[in-house]
A and B are shown apart, each in its own frame.
Chain A
Amino acid sequence: MSVDATTVRRIAHLARIAVSDTEVPHLQGELNAMLAFVEQLSEVNVEGVEPMTSVTPMEMKKRLDVVNDGEIADDIVANAPDTADHFFMVPKVVE
């Protein structure tokens, strides 16, 4: 399988990465090189094979459903590019 220029733009948008028109041909080439490389997996017989979900056979650990952290709003927003009163500020979302 390979991707065309339209697909490259669609993937970039899905990944939320702005891509200029001049970058598309180059990216298309790189993505197709990777897709060509992984193509050899199609020759493996995976009939009846379970997909791996956990590399170590262990049961998912659970903890008690209790509050064990918090009251650190100053820490949470300390690295944010734009905040006001412990809120993250973003461009207008709802008109």
Chain B
Amino acid sequence: MTDLTSLTIAEARAGLASKSFTATELTDAHLAAMEAARLLNAYILETPDRAREMAKAADARIAKGEGGPLAGIPLGIKDLFATRDIRTTACSKILGDFKPPYESTITSQLWRDGAVLLGKLNNDEFAMGSSNETSCFGPVVNPWRREGSNTHLVPGGSSGGSASAVAASLCMGATATDTGGSIRQPAAFTATVGIKPTYGRCSRWGIVAFASSLDQAGPIARTVRDSAILMRSMAGHDPKDTTSVDIAVPDYEASIGKSVKGMRIGIPKEYRLDGMPAEIEKLWKDGADWLKAAGAELVEVSLPHTKYALPAYYIVAPAEASSNLARYDGVRYGLREGGRNIIDMYESTRAAGFGAEVRRRVMIGTYVLSAGYYDAYYLRAQKVRTLIKKDFEDCFAKGVNAILTPATPSAAFGVGEKGGADPVEMYLNDIFTVTVNMAGLPGIAVPSGMDAQGLPLGLQLIGRPFDEETLFSLGEVIEQAAGRFTPSKWW
């Protein structure tokens, strides 16, 4: 029998339907793979008992012909998603042993559709990071290594556990979240597919908040089709999230294989950075050629405010984070440190509970919102954000269906290599992805090639608001042309 963990979700769905194997067998195969891959540190909590229970229930539903769209599909869940009675920490010490008495909307929809929970996945603390090195559970290791080297590389972040687990076949797909690139950058670093849907497409209810006007959840999977399958279950209106949009969820899988003939694809000249590695240049050119060969029309477009997206993000996101993270005060849940009085208790709890990156961002956010600085920083950044969004609107108004860019400025780097002295060095990882969050648009990262050291690289497609379907159609063209990339097992 072939290794069940190597199947795609679409293949597993067919195998379960034809009774080639059971959901229990599929789940057991993944639990065994997880146990053998603990070195990667992708899971911070394995839930084998819950997984077997859910798989058994899925088998019963399948036998009765009542299996949902994800019946028996084993998934990993980023630790930012609240899972009822199962420890949820956002990988921060400040949440301690928090066990939510509720379930996030997205995960409840996945269980409704029959999916199986394998465990909780590692991420940067409160999703603040681009390498998964800020997690209180330690860094995640990328299943990809440079050719001829044993150096551990980062899987990207913040959804590093999700990307690493999917790439190493420790789950068939995973939930992830993206505030500035946290789905697409780790997907690019691990040769997986990650889509950040339009802001409002998925409910944020029950997801630990980082920057509420930017946060959006989406899936990471091994193929474009699998990501479309997961998106359909994750998306949808939720009355509990006032920013979730009340429009019908399309059958995203139906966009796979749809012709892209006549579509206009924008190539933004501002994304051609000085000193861009030749292999990223080539990757971008390859992607354009593949789409052209499939009948799309390539046009050069201009997004003049691109270079201001990252600095504006580093005002808006920390500002919102400083406000969202005010709730961690040692009173209602999580860690508490002693203090002489209540202020002292707050201050010592937050000093002990937050890691260095979170503390830095909460402090900068507090500063830019403080009296006398609000107009100079926060208000100006929100105006710049309006301009960034307008750049995209102008571009789409000229008939452009989607925009093609590299997903990241480089391939994965080594654990401990970046951001030691200057935090900005790490932030630059998100230079191609952050504009999409600032404008609330959908973006997908698709594996597209390898660098000279044998590490995966990805391309990004940016779509019109609520037009994820076009991204799936175009993403499929790239996947068909580039092929799929699987790391060889060394762990």
Judging by beta carbons under 8 Å apart, are A17 and B314 in contact? no
Q: Known A80-B333, A91-B339; judge A17-B98 contact (CB<8 A).
A: no
Q: Which residues of A contact B362 (CB under 8 A)?
A: 15, 17
Judging by beta carbons under 8 Å apart, are B439 and A41 in contact? no
Place the interface of chain B in its size category: 35 or more
Judging by beta carbons under 8 Å apart, are B465 and A34 in contact? no
A59-70 CB contact bits vs B (8 Å, 1 = yes)?
011010000000
Interface residues of A, CB < 8 Å — how many?
53
Cβ-neighbour of A56 out of B341, B348, B465 (below 8 A): B465
Judging by beta carbons under 8 Å apart, are B377 and A88 in contact? no
In Å, the complex CA distance between A77 and B465 comes to 40
A4 in contact (CB, < 8 A): no
Judging by beta carbons under 8 Å apart, are B387 and A33 in contact? no
Q: Which residues of B contact A39 (CB under 8 A)?
A: 311
The chain B residue sitting closest to A20, CB to CB, is B351
Return A10 CB to nearest CB of chain B, in Å.
Answer: 8
Judging by beta carbons under 8 Å apart, are B366 and A14 in contact? yes
In B167-195, which residues have CB < 8 Å from any A CB? none
The chain A residue sitting closest to B99, CB to CB, is A79
A21-42 CB contact bits vs B (8 Å, 1 = yes)?
0000001001101110111111
Interface of B is mostly: helix
Judging by beta carbons under 8 Å apart, are A79 and B334 in contact? yes
B385 in contact (CB, < 8 A): yes
Judging by beta carbons under 8 Å apart, are A41 and B387 in contact? no
A49 in contact (CB, < 8 A): yes
Judging by beta carbons under 8 Å apart, are B213 and A41 in contact? no
Return B131 CB to nearest CB of chain A, in Å.
Answer: 17
Return B323 CB to nearest CB of chain A, in Å.
Answer: 11
Judging by beta carbons under 8 Å apart, are B347 and A16 in contact? yes
A6 in contact (CB, < 8 A): no
Q: Which residues of A contact B332 (CB under 8 A)?
A: 76-77, 79-80, 88
In Å, the complex CA distance between A63 and B241 comes to 11
In Å, the complex CA distance between A88 and B331 comes to 7
Judging by beta carbons under 8 Å apart, are A63 and B380 in contact? no
Judging by beta carbons under 8 Å apart, are B386 and A60 in contact? no
List residues of chain A with CB under 8 Å of any chain B CB: 1, 3, 7-8, 11-19, 27, 30-31, 33-35, 37-42, 44, 46, 49-56, 58, 60-61, 63, 72, 75-82, 88, 90-93
Known contacts A1-B376, A16-B350; 13 additional CB pairs below 8 A are A11-B366, A15-B362, A16-B343, A16-B347, A17-B354, A37-B310, A39-B311, A49-B387, A56-B245, A79-B334, A81-B330, A92-B341, A93-B342
List residues of chain B with CB under 8 Å of any chain A CB: 97-99, 101-102, 198-200, 213, 239, 242-243, 245-246, 305, 307-308, 310-312, 314-315, 322, 326, 329-336, 339-348, 350-351, 354, 359-360, 362-364, 366-367, 370, 373, 376-377, 379-387, 389, 422-424, 427, 438-440, 465
